[in-house]
């Protein structure tokens, strides 16, 4: 299943998540599934933001985050230029740019 990535750019994001989740499910470390997936996504996006582009390295970052028990930080702490999910839901009704839009803008500005 495809994850709705907040930035556009590469199939490596989804491939890294798929590899990490397959490994974590195989080793019985993926419970609860949704929380594990969110930890992986945060780790992959942080690695992507730091310049990692290889799918295996992205997967490894996600696996390490889960195995080391890195807590799930609010999205706004992981990416200071963005707002968290609750704020995004409230602000989109008022016409503000959603968090995924900010990430896409900041990613394209960096290149």
Q: Where are the domains of the chain?
A: 10-72, 74-111
- Chunked into runs of 10 residues, the chain (111 residues) has average pLDDT values of 73 93 94 92 92 94 92 56 43 42 44 47
Distance CA 66, CA 20 (A): 10
CB 69 within 8 A of CB 35: no
Q: Residue 23: what pLDDT? A: 96
12 CB-near residues (< 8 Å, 6+ apart): 53, 54, 55, 58
Measured distance CA(10)–CA(62) in Å, rounded: 17
pLDDT of residue 99: 45
Query: What pLDDT does residue 10 have?
Result: 74
Report angle CA 96, 72, 34 to the nearest 5 degrees.
Answer: 85
Q: Is 44 exposed, middle or buried (0-12, 13-18, 19+ CB in 10 A)?
A: buried
């Amino acid at each position: 299943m495809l994850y709705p990535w907040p930035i556009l750019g590469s199939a490596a994001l989804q491939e890294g998540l798929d590899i990490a989740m397959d490994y974590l499910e195989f080793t019985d470390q993926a419970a609860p599934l949704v929380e594990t997936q969110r930890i992986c996504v945060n780790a992959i996006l942080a690695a992507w933001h730091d310049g990692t582009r290889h799918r295996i390295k992205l997967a490894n970052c996600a696996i390490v985050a889960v195995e080391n028990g890195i807590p799930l930080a609010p999205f706004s702490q992981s990416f200071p230029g963005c707002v968290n999910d609750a704020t995004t839901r409230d602000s989109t009704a008022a016409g503000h740019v959603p968090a995924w839009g900010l990430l896409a803008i900041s990613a394209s500005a960096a290149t």
